[in-house]
Structure 1
Amino acid sequence: MDAKSLRGLAHPLRVQLLGMLRSDGPATATQLAARVGESSGTTSWHLRQLAEHGFVEEDTGRGNRRERWWRAVHEHTAVSTGEFGPDEQGPLAAYLYEVASAHYRQSTAFLAERQRWSPEWTGAASLSDTFLWLRPEELGELTRRLHELLDEYRRPAEDGDEQVAVQFQAFPRSQP
């Protein structure tokens, strides 16, 4: 992702809309507006901005002349934060903040509805953390290997599956 694309995504509503299109599949601006509590005009404008930057596209196989459907172009977005220059740090920070906020909302939504899941699902779920002492190259290797492991589990949905949010964060921690 370059700085121009990043600026196109670094907006709270755009991060949210793109996330919904990725997790729930194609939708119209009106459907998305109802889910996020915005007007369809607002969501439509933000969807066009996402399309301009290559994150979403019109799903021409659905709808009609009055109903415009949108779908995500990619399954996920990966950003290597070290590749952005000093003048790009503002949009990068805005985007990363929105991603972290979305992860927080997903985690708390699970906790709020945890009792509706079976013991098998709640026992398999995890909200955990750990602290490691690493050098930058070790953190890079850990990140690469974890992404490879996640790719091994990527497949189309099957009967009995539930969509699972996997949130991975690894960053140096400031010492108190």
Structure 2
Amino acid sequence: MEHQYKISDPQVLKVVAHPLRVRLLGLLRSEGPATASELGRKVGESSGSTSYHLRELFKYGFIEEDSEQRDGRERRWRARHRYTSWDAVEMSGTDEGREAVKIMHLRQAEMVGRVMEEFDLGEWPGEWVDVAGMSDYMLTLPAAAVHEFKREAEELLTRIAARYAGDPAASLVSVWYGAVPRSRQEEEEGR
């Protein structure tokens, strides 16, 4: 699997921003190859619906057929890239690009909400319950400071993942970070 798929076309970003496609691609990335029927059962959709959306993801290079694990009658699909990225500044140069980035940001937030909703505290030992969750901070920072945070967070996660690779106590973990400047009106109103 390649590391990253960098998108520069707003139309391609819109293709992957479809709610079901985001989920399907995420499942293929996190759980590995699957058929349309298997994915349909996981997301509560018909195999016809998932097949259509998988073909769209294939058409735009997000997934590929997994020829190593053929399932007789049905194709198995796998993700081609670990991550999808785009240059928000470049995309924001057009109305279509701004719309595509906005839609994708909303899909990312929906995904975070879905993962948090599915997390059942009763199914995990205390050590995982202790570290799971989210924090939010309201800070007054320049864009350069947020960029520094992003870069250092990525470096730290890369080092930690390498250090704990192969640890038998490890689990697949979703780690998020994000920052969005607040409007001047929100700042003035103290929200």
TM-score (norm 2): 0.84
Report the RMSD for the aligned CA atoms in angstroms: 1.6
- Could you report, residue by residue, the CA deviation over 1:116-140 in whole angstroms, capped at 9, with x for unpaired residues? 2111111122321112211111111
In structure 2, what is the equivalent of residue 105 of structure 1?
114
Q: Does the CA contact (< 8 Å) of 2:11 and 2:100 recur in 1?
A: no
Residue in structure 2 matched with residue 169 of structure 1 by the alignment: 178
Where in structure 1 are there 5+ consecutive unaligned residues? Answer: none
Q: Does the residue aligned with 2:156 lie in a helix, a strand or coil?
A: helix
Taking a change above 3 Å as real, the CA distance of residues 66 and 157 of structure 1, as seen in their structure-2 partners, is: farther
1:160 match: 169
Alpha-carbon offset, residue 60 of structure 1: 0.6
Aligned to 1:43: 50
Q: Render the CA deviation track for 1:21-50: whole Å, top value 9, x for unaligned.
A: 111111100000111111111111111111
Given that 2:36 and 2:76 are in contact with CA atoms closer than 8 Å, whether structure 1 keeps it comes out as yes
Matched, 1:53 2:60: yes
More strand by share: 2
Alignment partner of 2:73: what SS? Answer: coil
- Rounded Cα–Cα distance in structure 1 between residues aligned with 2:169 and 2:145: 37
In structure 2, stretches of 5+ residues that fail to align are: 1-6
Once the two structures are superposed, residues 113-169 of structure 1 have per-residue CA deviations (whole angstroms, 9 ceiling, x without a partner) of 112211111112232111221111111121111112122233555422211110111
Which of 84, 95, 103 is residue 77 of structure 1 equivalent to?
A: 84
Give, in angstroms, the shift of residue 79 of structure 1: 3.0
**Aligned residue number for residue 144 of structure 1:** 151
* SS of equivalent residue, structure 1 residue 61: helix
3-state SS of 2:68 partner: coil
Query: Residue 163 of structure 1 aligns to which amino acid in structure 2?
Result: L
Secondary structure, in 3 states, of the residue corresponding to 1:77? strand
List per-residue Cα deviations over 1:57-83 (Å, max 9, x = no partner).
Answer: 111101244121011111122333222
Tell me the distance in 1 between the aligned counterparts of 2:90 and 2:161.
Answer: 27
Larger mean Cα displacement after TM superposition, 41-50 or 56-65: 56-65
Q: Give the counterpart letter for 2:78 in structure 1.
A: R
Alignment length (residue pairs): 174
Bigger shift: residues 152-161 or 131-140? 152-161
Distance (Å, rounded) in 2 between the aligned partners of 1:79 and 1:150: 20
